Chain A
């Protein structure tokens, strides 16, 4: 079955360490997204990518980095510069359509990775 796989599901990190969260999809989707979820704040966009080797900052990109070397993969690195990294991280993907119809695309989500900084 097609879907999005995120790993690890749970991750603990000491302050000052970088950590990379994996996101792999086999849906043949062009667009991929990273969201951060905090209690009471909904989902906030960190980065998104439409094509290999290209990505854009979202609303809260500071302290994060991404790469898109393959269409299927969009890993997120939480760097030591991120001041409050403890959160639930969700990866998503979608098809791409042009024009106004691009707003209609449904996001498919992974099961998330919960990062705790000790």
Chain B
């Protein structure tokens, strides 16, 4: 069975600090995909990044970076020089293919990030 654990329920940082959001996952499949989504106060989840299980290369996009380590089953997300606009709930998710073209997506419980000006 799939499981995604985001142990940090809430994090508060002062603007311009760096912050890392942790994500640990469990799966028996060898092919899977990991995602991060951002949920601002408006409510809709917004896609940030996707990695597949065969690509452990870290990725950087502006102030965002992601560290994928299969050895520890982790997919952590770092925001550098945080800004107030980064305040949101962040979800890590694990997706696996099902028969017939369906996908099974398991979400973590989310980490609420508050950036204080």
| CB contact between A102 and one of B9, B35, B52, B97 (< 8 Å): that residue | B97
Number of interface residues of A (CB under 8 A): 32
In the bound assembly, the distance between CA atoms of A58 and B63 in angstroms comes to 36
> With an 8 A cutoff between CB atoms, is A81 at the interface?
no
| CB contact between B43 and one of A40, A44, A88, A108 (< 8 Å): that residue | A88
* Majority DSSP secondary structure for residues of A touching B: mixed
- Given known contacts A103-B33, A112-B44, A40 and B109 CB-to-CB distance under 8 angstroms: yes
Interface bracket on B: 20 to 34
Proximity string of chain B (81-109) to chain A, C-beta cutoff 8 Å, 1 when within and 0 when not? 00000000001000111101111110111
Residue of B nearest to A40 (CB): B109
In the bound assembly, the distance between CA atoms of A4 and B45 in angstroms comes to 11
Residue ranges of B at the interface with A (Cβ–Cβ < 8 Å): 4, 9, 31-33, 35, 37, 42-47, 50, 52, 91, 95-98, 100-105, 107-110
Q: List 23 A-B contacts (CB under 8 A).
A: A40-B9, A41-B109, A42-B109, A43-B45, A48-B102, A50-B102, A96-B102, A97-B101, A100-B31, A100-B97, A102-B97, A102-B102, A102-B103, A103-B96, A103-B104, A104-B50, A105-B95, A106-B50, A107-B105, A109-B44, A111-B43, A111-B44, A112-B44
In the bound assembly, the distance between CA atoms of A43 and B110 in angstroms comes to 9
Residue ranges of A at the interface with B (Cβ–Cβ < 8 Å): 4, 31, 40-45, 48, 50, 56, 88, 90, 92, 94, 96-112
